[in-house]
Amino acid sequence: MKKQPLILVSNDDGITAPGIHALVKVMQRIGEVVVVAPDSPQSGMGHAITIGNTLRLDKSLVFDEVESYECSGTPADCVKLAKHHVLKDRRPDLVVSGINHGSNSSISVLYSGTMSAAIEAAIEGLPAIGFSLCDYGHDIDFSHTEEYVELITRQALEHGIPAGVALNVNFPKQSDKPIAGIKVCRQARAKWEEEFDERLDPRGRSYFWLTGNFVNFDKGDDTDEAALAQNYVSVVPCQFDMTASHAISLLNNDWDLNPGVKPPVGTKTVESGLAEG
């Protein structure tokens, strides 16, 4: 009998969130599941880790017939604790995070706790996928994502994910139209233009509430935002090496970083062979 793959599940919305329950349901059809997730919502935490406070990890009874733990820390903390403590004698075949309540396409990947769990897994040398649904509604339905979560997961287990890469998967909001398919694409060049709404609490003290609008500057048809707008599932391969390789030669050649020091005769500037992005 073929051995079942070991799948670690985490998220950023917390262990009781509907999205992680939808994800666990699918993963149980594929392999052995272990859950390590935050004990409270951690949205927008990015890749934060806990270094100045205690970390607590407790067995959870949230899932039936699934080994699960709730952690007081961030999504990245959850993956670290899972690898080095909960599964210290076992290696997960795949780490999945989500399903996030809200989009993590484009620039949102930098702020996303969902994707930080996946990227932390990639840093630890584990193949990983972050799943998100582009719907901020109060009571959303994840059911239309399940067949695509299963398809992408099975493909990842069968064919592998390149080392150091985490897949950022976003699903369009459920509508009357069926999902058009899956597109592997690049991250759109976009940003949030924030506004800070100053308000008064009941005691008359001012506080600020973050608001703003998402602005897409990218008109390309090969981006995650374009795919989602056409009702496709977007898949963006992400890496944790954030080196702007194209800027290395500019800094070496145009900046005078060592005044008064001339490079040896015949010295050539070495440029990185990595493509931009």
* Distance between CA atoms of residues 20 and 11, nearest Å: 7
Residue with tokens 């058009």: 180
Residue 119 has pLDDT above 90, yes or no: yes
Domain ranges of the chain: 6-188+220-239, 244-277
Average pLDDT over residues 164-172: 97
Band the pLDDT of 266: cuts 50, 70, 90. low
Q: Is a pLDDT exceeding 80 seen at residue 13?
A: yes
Architecture of domain 6-188+220-239: 3-Layer(aba) Sandwich (3.40)
> What is the total residue count of the chain?
277
* Residue 227: half-sphere exposure toward Cβ, Cα within 13 Å: 23
Structure tokens at 134: 């582009």
The alpha carbon of residue 106 and the mean position of all alpha carbons in its chain are separated, in whole angstroms, by 11
Establish whether 218 is an annotated binding residue: no
Evaluated on CA atoms 62, 67, 70, 76, the torsion sign reads: negative
- Three-class secondary structure assignment of 40-101: CCCCCCCCCCCCCCCCCEEECCCCCCCEEEEECCCHHHHHHHHHHHHCCCCCCCEEEEEEEE
Q: How many CB atoms are closer than 10 A to CB 71?
A: 27
CB atoms within 10 A of CB 40: 11
Residue pLDDT, tens place only, 70-87: 999 999 999 999 999 999
Is 113 within 8 Å of 45 (Cβ atoms)? Answer: yes
Q: Are the C-beta atoms of 121 and 95 separated by less than 8 Å?
A: yes
Dist CA 100 CA 23 (whole Å): 10
Q: Select from 214, 276, 205 the least CA-distant residue to 247.
A: 276
DSSP class of 221: S
Three-class DSSP category at 248: helix
Q: What is the mean pLDDT of residues 104-111?
A: 92
Q: What pLDDT, in 10s, does the model give residues 30-83?
A: 999 999 999 998 888 889 999 999 999 999 999 988 999 999 999 999 999 999
Any known ligand binding at 254?
no
Contact 213, 192 (CB under 8 A): yes
The amino acid present at 176, given as its one-letter code, is D
Is 39 known as a binding-site position?
no
- Residue 43 labeled ligand binder: yes
Q: Which residue has the tokens 């080994």?
A: 67
pLDDT at 272 over 50: no
